[in-house]
Copies of this chain bind each other. A is one copy, B any other.
């Protein structure tokens, strides 16, 4: 699988998203890098040559991708949200100093002993974040 803009259009359609020019660019930014990006970073990437996509559209689009399950939101930094093109179950490793965020495959990780949920509640997701720091 490679992340051409054409393939992005297909990906968007398959998620019931109208593939406009801006949405394709934003999807391309996220998926071709396979990295966690903040809204700011997405905007910077998409507008490298000459400003093409507005701030409002970047935020709208990321929110749309989120609703449609195309990306996942990662909340680790109090000052900004990251968007993760990897939606398969996995956890995160966060380097506190540098702000670097990487994936931990969920395959071998097991979480046991969680108490039952309060009645009338469903789990929307379990976020496991390992915060690390460089030994100094």
Contact A126 B135 (CB under 8 A): no
Asked if A113 lies at the interface with its beta carbon under 8 angstroms from chain B, I say yes
Q: Across the two chains, which residue of chain B brings its CB closest to A125?
A: B131
Copies in the complex: 2
Q: How far is the CB of A107 from chain B (nearest CB, A)?
A: 8
Residues A8-23 near B (CB distance < 8 A): none
Expressed in whole angstroms, the Cα–Cα distance for A113 and B90 within the complex equals 12
Main secondary structure of the interface of A (DSSP, over half): strand
Q: How large is the interface on A (under 10, 10 to 19, 20 to 34, 35 or more residues)?
A: 35 or more
Asked if A121 lies at the interface with its beta carbon under 8 angstroms from chain B, I say yes
Contact A114 B126 (CB under 8 A): no
Q: Please pick, from B122, B124, B128, the residue contacting A111 in the complex, using a CB distance under 8 A.
A: B128
